[in-house]
Chains A and B, each alone.
Chain A
């Protein structure tokens, strides 16, 4: 049953290529958003570490891949790798600052670091293009075979394939003892050492891992759109990531992806009516979700399923 549902989910994701052939860029964006939220889920949902600045890693990955391609090396997979490595390094470097205990310091430091990075990108137009964005990003064909086309056919399959592979990895990781230790830490960080879990080392590891995931998501965005703008580092992106996560359901990998899909679709439909409208609704959704508690869409679905069976 569970396996069938999972297979159905991925088949539907693949089938969206034929179901919505005019919306390929939107679908790629959903895959990229899902990867970003997956990364947040590992950190916030599984390990219980709060962050308001996850866009820092997304943006670093985007700029790393974008600048690499702009400087004349447009091979996409090595761009993803570079983004992952750099973001993981930044994660390792900043983890000691963020994981000092307490939610408030974590929130403030992550927020401060992401704002610092955003401001740095803004003030270094020679490197990042500043407010004009990074232009002249040229990506070579994947494996030398599949060219990125104007309509986003290649971009769609590329984003979906990367998402699928990294999802499989995340699934392995969360089912392994490592993932169980993370859940234990979220439940009660003080008692975990009694079980022999090195709490700090686990948290640093998951922080770096989540950073690498976010970096890859950013790199995917840079490569598929062949453009990087300052908003990859914006506070809005961090906040929206959290919203997608809570919308889908915290601490469940499918929840993260469903949240990203629902959010991006809603964004697409509502912001076409009026961008103001959109901001209002997203705010209202956040307030309602916070008041109603966790679960999200996945939780609602599971509850409905239980009622139907009973």
Chain B
């Protein structure tokens, strides 16, 4: 029971780190980016290659994964995404699905279609006995690391100048621009940050979520749920949504495996019907 709960929380936190960038893309630029998972996949493969082929220490691989994904995000944003802001949602959907297909084919060609496995360093493997249940060390590590990231993001969004500008831009981009806030640049930086976090999440998730060329498609729904259910403009909304999703998903797979992913999709549709503006959204929002 406790093991399931901890596993659920760990995977929920992972989902949050993977998806939080998307909430900014959707909330700030109103851009339907279905390719967000591709950045997670890129980070995952960078980590796998560095760890397995070059034997770099795990923390360094994580860092490299995040940096690689962030740079990739920045380049793609400046080169391609930028041209589609303000265009029809259909164009954005097609564009990002296209990116997912390209990324999947490219990775398949480079790395093969099989699941990637990594060997965790000794200090992260094994279990600790807490009372009468055993909990994987890696799960605890995930919870701690992602917890720090959540806290940092929350403080960054609430306390810093960058954060208040970002919130202003999400609330009303037109007025924010009128006040002299450089929305474009703000967005480019945030996009890179979000991509980098996705890359980190992808690298952390190799052990938990798995990694193969279908990763972006397989988890696209999960990311969208986190964002749509959590709402933009806060860190806590998507965070709660991700935790809920992780626990429901793991518990569902553990207790009623015959339902499969059905439970998650149902939960998403029901939540979207009940709270179309997000879990924590104020009722009177527009």
Which residues does A use to contact B, with CB under 8 Å? 44, 50, 52, 97, 100, 102-105, 107-109, 111-113, 115-116, 119-120, 122-123, 235, 239, 242-243, 246, 250, 276-277, 279-280, 282-291, 293-294
Contacts and interface: CB of A to CB of B under 8 A. Distances in A.
B265 A105 contact: no
Contact of B97 (A97, A108, A239, A291): A239
Contacts of A112: 221, 265, 268-269, 272
A213 B178 CA distance: 48
A227 to B, nearest CB: 23
B269 A283 contact: no
26 contacts: A52-B93, A100-B273, A100-B276, A107-B89, A111-B224, A112-B272, A113-B265, A113-B269, A116-B262, A116-B265, A120-B262, A123-B262, A246-B90, A276-B108, A283-B98, A283-B105, A286-B95, A286-B101, A287-B95, A287-B99, A289-B98, A290-B87, A290-B91, A290-B92, A291-B95, A293-B91
A55 to B, nearest CB: 14
Given A112-B221, A286-B94, A119 B89 contact: no
Nearest to B218: A235
Contacts of A115: 221, 261, 265
A123 B258 contact: yes
A119 B261 contact: yes
A119 B91 CA distance: 28
B97 A286 contact: yes
Interface in B116-154: none
Nearest to B258: A123
B123 to A, nearest CB: 38
The 9 closest A-B pairs by CB, nearest first: A286-B98, A283-B101, A290-B95, A283-B102, A280-B105, A287-B98, A103-B89, A279-B105, A116-B265
Contacts of A283: 97-105
A176 to B, nearest CB: 25
Contacts of A279: 101, 104-105, 108
Interface string B243-269: 000000000000000111110011011
A284 B98 CA distance: 6
Interface residues of B, number: 41
Interface of B: 26, 32, 80, 83-84, 87, 89-95, 97-106, 108-109, 217, 221, 224, 228, 258-262, 265-266, 268-269, 272-273, 276
A109 B80 contact: no
Contacts of A289: 94, 98
A246 B89 CA distance: 13
B228 A104 contact: yes
A258 B97 CA distance: 22
B262 to A, nearest CB: 4
Contacts of A100: 273, 276
A287 B80 contact: yes
Contacts of A276: 105, 108-109
A108 B26 CA distance: 13
A107 B32 contact: yes
B80 A291 contact: yes
Contact of A123 (B91, B109, B259): B259
B258 A246 contact: no
Contacts of B269: 97, 109, 112-113, 116
A104 B80 contact: no
Contacts of A250: 90
B163 to A, nearest CB: 24
B96 to A, nearest CB: 8
A115 B224 CA distance: 13
Given A100-B276, A104-B32, A120-B262, A280 B102 contact: yes
A120 B91 CA distance: 30
Contact of A108 (B259, B262, B272): B272
A234 to B, nearest CB: 10
A50 B95 contact: no
B9 to A, nearest CB: 24
Contacts of A294: 91
A280 B101 contact: yes
Nearest to A120: B262
Given A112-B221, A283-B101, A290-B84, A119 B94 contact: no
